[in-house]
Amino acid sequence: MSVRHALLALLSEGPKYGLQLREEFEARTGEVWPLNVGQVYTTLQRLERDGLVESDDDDDGDAGPQKGFRITPGGATELAHWLRTPPDLASPPRDELVMKVLVALRIPGTDVREVIQVHRRYLVQLMQQWTRIKEAEAESDLSLGLVVDAELFRLDAVIRWLDAAEGRLKRAAADPPPPASMALPRLRRRVGTRS
């Protein structure tokens, strides 16, 4: 999440104070991503330095709570550009859970299905907690509802991968494939891993 662009988005509605920006940021993200005041002012200073926002009193360097900020035309252009720039989803992230399952396969005597189940249980428990939030509040709070859905779909995808992995292991146990050594380095060469 880019705090920089979130602040630009809030300022695109009109001039605001630093504290107000923090409160609105948290409210709009369903209070799932807390932000401290220091982060807000540091980011605002950088935005001002880059000419993307202006403050009320440019002569006074003191960024007090009553100092107002507004977006510049350059800031608006930057915001529009950011909204339409896809995040990097092309290269697979270095997924720790995938690594753990791959490593578990190679350690003699490890029950990989048990390892998978430990993670599955943890993920389902997390989903239960998100679902409670959805049940309690998400109907009345659009931002929170969107955030909770995103988390549920993300965790669900990981569980589906674990299910698929378990199915694959079961099939492989019944009909063992030829030993595939060095699967990781080959994969990395093929698709490239984000560093």
> Where along the sequence are the contacts to other proteins (CB under 8 A)?
22, 26, 31-32, 34-37, 113, 117, 120-121, 123-133, 135-136, 152-153, 155-156, 159-160, 163, 166-167
Distance between CA atoms of residues 14 and 6, nearest Å: 14
Shortest reach from residue 22's CB to other proteins, in Å: 7
Q: Please state, in angstroms and as integers, the Cα–Cα distance from residue 159 to each residue in 75, 87, 91, 98, following that order.
A: 40, 23, 21, 12
Closer residue to other proteins, CB minimum distance, 105 or 158 = 158
Which residues, in sequence order, are bridge partners of residue 54? 70
Closer residue to other proteins, CB minimum distance, 82 or 161 = 161
Closer residue to other proteins, CB minimum distance, 79 or 165 = 165
Q: Provide the token pair at 45.
A: 């200073």
Closer residue to other proteins, CB minimum distance, 75 or 130 = 130
Shortest reach from residue 191's CB to other proteins, in Å: 27
DSSP 63-75: --TT-EEEE-HHH
Shortest reach from residue 190's CB to other proteins, in Å: 29
Shortest reach from residue 36's CB to other proteins, in Å: 5
Contact predicate 149/114, CB 8 Å: no
Helix (H) or strand (E) holding 16: strand 16-17
